[in-house]
């Protein structure tokens, strides 16, 4: 769903809204490139976005969206992207609630702006009622067939995966206030222990819903940015044994190719026939590049989460960074700074490639020992040996998570990171501040906004640190301010992340190629795509995906 419009004109495409329903077993999302032309006065915020997905025995889902907006411009409707081309427009109904007025029915039509989507149209009186600063809520209900897919990882199970809609951040003010996603299991399913959730995205709760009489899984979040929703941070899904549904699907190579080509169909139809083959090859290449870049960030693939097992609590900062899937160049920097802090290594030159000095032969952990061995006689880090160190670190961390809950482990170390920042900020003396920053910096680096928080949280502290103190082994003079000390940390982190070895980002891709290689798919005669599931009764799920990307119009 998504996108809104302007009064007095036909709406122009606005939102990158993409609703994706997917099915389990290796992520292979299609990317649509919606038009981002919009009216100059299109301006709104999203108070909440609620989506309910009801799994049906016939392999379809009923989708109910409830989205509350505050309008700051003019608007004549909302376009809502559908998960795939099979959506049943005849089943769709929509209404809008404006302020405290009674709900108003809205007409629905095939969206002229979203290739696979529904346009919710406002009549003139509704448009006039939605003034500046007015709250209004759009509710859409529709049935979408062809949505329940085979789980290729665990025999005898099927499931769905769904990505909530999002809006263009250039038109939406701030983040979505709250986002709530719910999956209702089919009638007849009552054994919660048989339910499985999307791998790495466990539900917040699952229980029998008294109102519907169905088992219901719920995910909730607040302050969800459009970019994070688009990136899949709020994806959700659920699976169950096949005996609870009468119809389900698998995904073939032909289906995958067809979905990919559909996103580019408007371009293809205007080309001369002699160029069609070239375009098809181009699509395949673009898709492969996109997928490889995405996979370059997905170097860590934990095994099945064990529900109720709790987090792994004894990881080091670099191991926690792997669990949180931080960029590998940052993980390598954390490892280096740990060695320097322990006086096992020193930094001689920060110029690319950095030159180090080895002060010990063995570290406290295997990855530290491997790192020290990678330092050559000339002080440079051997790229091949560093690659081996990073691969071993990722693999050993995956091994350590076996028998623990991956989601709980991520949340545990996110809390550790936040605690580290609070401890440094709460220092009672300049000396405590300097020592705390030295001790906690590696944990603080787990924050995605490390550099920004250094500026906003640390630079403003009033400390002047006197006497000798150290930044990773380098003595500094007396009278340094908190701002100067924080600046020295951020500059060294930035230079080390870029200059440790030549083409360190390429090194990250090589690690991914070893730790998370591109899977080999086996295709059957009907369609399905991939996305991992885990949890529930100790199962792992991977379904194929029937997805189409829809950009919002208006």
Q: Report the alpha-carbon distance of residue 179 to residue 188 in Å, rounded.
A: 28
Q: What pLDDT is attached to residue 412? A: 93
**pLDDT bucket at 171, cuts 50 / 70 / 90:** confident
Assess contact for 339 and 371: CB atoms under 8 A: yes
- With tokens 């529900």, the residue in question is 307
Q: What pLDDT is attached to residue 99? A: 86
Read off φ and ψ for residue 93, nearest 5 degrees. Answer: -140, 150
Q: What pLDDT is attached to residue 164? A: 87
Read off φ and ψ for residue 445, nearest 5 degrees. Answer: -70, -10
CA atoms within 13 A on the CB side of 194: 16
Read off φ and ψ for residue 396, nearest 5 degrees. Answer: -70, -35
Q: What pLDDT is attached to residue 106? A: 95
428 vs 3, higher pLDDT = 428
Residue 153 buriedness (CB in 10 A; 0-12 / 13-18 / 19+): buried
Query: What pTM did the predictor assign?
Result: 0.48
Q: What pLDDT is attached to residue 350? A: 86
Helices (H), 232-269: 253-262, 265-268
Assess contact for 302 and 279: CB atoms under 8 A: no
Q: What pLDDT is attached to residue 460? A: 57
Bridge partners of residue 176, in order along the sequence: 224
Across 90-101, average pLDDT: 94
- 169: its two tokens: 């951040």
Assess contact for 475 and 468: CB atoms under 8 A: yes
Bridge partners of residue 118, in order along the sequence: 80, 110
Domains in the chain (CATH in brackets) are 20-244 (2.60.40.1730), 317-509 (no CATH)
Classify strands 61-71 and 135-144 as parallel, antiparallel or unpaired.
Answer: antiparallel
Q: Report the alpha-carbon distance of residue 492 to residue 429 in Å, rounded.
A: 24
Q: Report the alpha-carbon distance of residue 448 to residue 171 in Å, rounded.
A: 25
- 321: its two tokens: 């960074």
Q: Of the ranges 67-76, 88-97, 209-218, which one carries the lowest mean pLDDT score?
A: 67-76
- With tokens 């829809």, the residue in question is 550
Q: H or E stretch including 178?
A: strand 176-184
CA angle 500, 503, 507 (to 5 degrees): 90
Across 64-81, average pLDDT: 89
105 vs 353, higher pLDDT = 105
Q: Report the alpha-carbon distance of residue 304 to residue 536 in Å, rounded.
A: 10
**Chain segment 311-322, per-residue pLDDT in tens:** 899 999 999 999
In the chain, % of residues over pLDDT 90: 39
Q: What pLDDT is attached to residue 543? A: 41
Residues in the chain: 554
**pLDDT bucket at 469, cuts 50 / 70 / 90:** very low
Q: Of the ranges 15-29, 286-300, 459-473, which one carries the lowest mean pLDDT score?
A: 15-29
Q: Write the DSSP assignment of 45-80 as a string of letters.
A: EEEEEEEEEEE-TTS-EEEEEEEEEEESS--SEEEE
Report DSSP state, residue 151.
B
Q: What pLDDT is attached to residue 426? A: 85
pLDDT of 70 above 90: yes
Highest mean pLDDT among 22-36, 182-196, 528-542: 182-196
- 481: its two tokens: 């301010």
Q: Which residues of 46-70 are buried (b: 16+ CB within 10 A; e: fewer)?
A: beebbbbbbbbebbbbbbebbbbbb
**Mean pLDDT, the chain, integer:** 76
pLDDT of 266 above 80: no
Orientation of helix 504-515 relative to helix 276-296, angle to 10°: 90
- 33: its two tokens: 């490139």
Cα dihedral 455→458→462→463 (10° resolution): -130
**Chain segment 493-552, per-residue pLDDT in tens:** 888 878 887 666 667 777 877 766 544 333 332 233 323 333 333 333 334 333 333 334
CA angle 179, 182, 187 (to 5 degrees): 170
Q: What pLDDT is attached to residue 342? A: 92
Across 153-173, average pLDDT: 83
Across 305-333, average pLDDT: 85
Q: What pLDDT is attached to residue 338? A: 92
Measured CA to CA in angstroms, residue 17 lies from 166, 167, 199, 497 at distances of 5, 5, 23, 34
Bridge partners of residue 62, in order along the sequence: 54, 143
In the chain, % of residues over pLDDT 70: 69
Assess contact for 196 and 307: CB atoms under 8 A: no
pLDDT of 41 above 70: no
**pLDDT bucket at 360, cuts 50 / 70 / 90:** very high
382 vs 553, higher pLDDT = 382
Across 343-357, average pLDDT: 89
pLDDT of 115 above 70: yes
Q: Of the ranges 56-70, 192-206, 371-385, 483-497, which one carries the lowest mean pLDDT score?
A: 483-497
Across 398-416, average pLDDT: 89
Q: Report the alpha-carbon distance of residue 476 to residue 438 in Å, rounded.
A: 13
Give the three-class secondary structure for 393: helix
């Amino acid at each position: 769903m998504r996108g809104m419009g302007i009064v007095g004109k036909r709406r122009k495409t606005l939102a990158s809204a993409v609703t994706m329903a997917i099915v389990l077993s290796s992520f292979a999302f299609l990317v649509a490139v919606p038009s981002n032309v919009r009216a100059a006065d299109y301006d709104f915020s999203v108070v909440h976005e609620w989506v309910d997905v009801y799994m049906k025995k016939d392999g379809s889902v009923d989708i109910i969206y409830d989205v509350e907006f505050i309008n700051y411009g003019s608007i004549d409707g909302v376009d809502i992207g559908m998960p795939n081309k099979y959506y049943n427009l005849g089943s769709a109904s929509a209404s809008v609630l404006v302020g405290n007025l009674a709900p108003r029915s809205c007409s629905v039509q095939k969206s002229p702006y979203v290739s696979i989507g529904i346009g919710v149209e406002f009549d003139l009186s509704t448009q006039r009622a939605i003034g500046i600063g007015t709250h209004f809520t759009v509710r859409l209900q529709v049935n979408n067939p062809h949505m329940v897919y085979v789980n290729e990882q665990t025999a005898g199970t099927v499931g769905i995966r769904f990505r909530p809609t999002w809006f263009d951040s250039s038109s939406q003010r701030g983040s979505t206030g709250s986002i709530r996603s719910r999956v209702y299991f089919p009638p007849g399913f009552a054994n919660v222990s048989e339910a499985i959730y999307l791998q790495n995205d466990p539900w917040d709760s699952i229980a029998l819903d008294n109102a519907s009489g169905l088992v219901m899984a719920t995910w909730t979040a607040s302050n969800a940015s459009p970019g994070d929703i688009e990136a899949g941070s709020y994806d959700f899904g659920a699976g169950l044994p096949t005996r609870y549904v009468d119809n389900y699907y698998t995904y073939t190579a032909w289906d995958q190719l067809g979905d990919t080509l559909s996103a580019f169909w408007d371009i293809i139809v205007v080309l001369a026939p002699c160029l069609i083959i070239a375009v098809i090859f181009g699509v395949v290449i673009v898709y492969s590049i996109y997928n490889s870049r995405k996979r370059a960030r997905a170097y860590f693939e934990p095994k099945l989460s064990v529900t109720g097992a709790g987090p792994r609590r004894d990881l080091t900062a670099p191991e926690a960074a792997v669990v949180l899937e931080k960029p590998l160049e940052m993980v390598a920097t954390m490892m280096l700074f740990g060695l320097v802090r322990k006086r096992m290594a020193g930094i001689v030159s920060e110029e690319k490639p950095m030159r180090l000095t080895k002060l010990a032969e063995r570290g406290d952990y295997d990855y530290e020992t491997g790192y020290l061995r990678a330092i050559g006689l000339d002080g440079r880090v051997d790229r091949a040996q560093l690659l081996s160190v990073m691969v071993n670190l990722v693999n050993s961390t995956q091994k350590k998570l076996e028998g623990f809950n991956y989601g709980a482990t991520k949340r545990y170390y996110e809390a550790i990171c936040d605690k580290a920042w609070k401890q440094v900020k709460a220092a009672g003396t300049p000396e405590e501040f300097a020592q705390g920053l030295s001790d906690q910096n590696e944990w603080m680096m787990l924050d995605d906004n490390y550099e920004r928080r250094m500026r906003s949280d640390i630079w403003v502290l009033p400390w002047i640190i006197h006497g000798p103190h150290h930044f990773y082994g380098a003595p500094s003079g007396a009278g340094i301010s908190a701002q100067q000390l924080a600046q020295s940390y951020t500059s060294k982190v930035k230079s080390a992340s870029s200059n440790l070895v030549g083409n360190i980002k390429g090194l990250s891709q090589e690690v991914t190629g070893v730790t998370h290689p591109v899977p080999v798919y086996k295709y059957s005669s009907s369609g399905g795509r991939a996305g991992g599931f885990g949890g529930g009764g100790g199962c792992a799920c991977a379904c194929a995906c029937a997805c189409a990307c829809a950009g919002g119009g208006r």
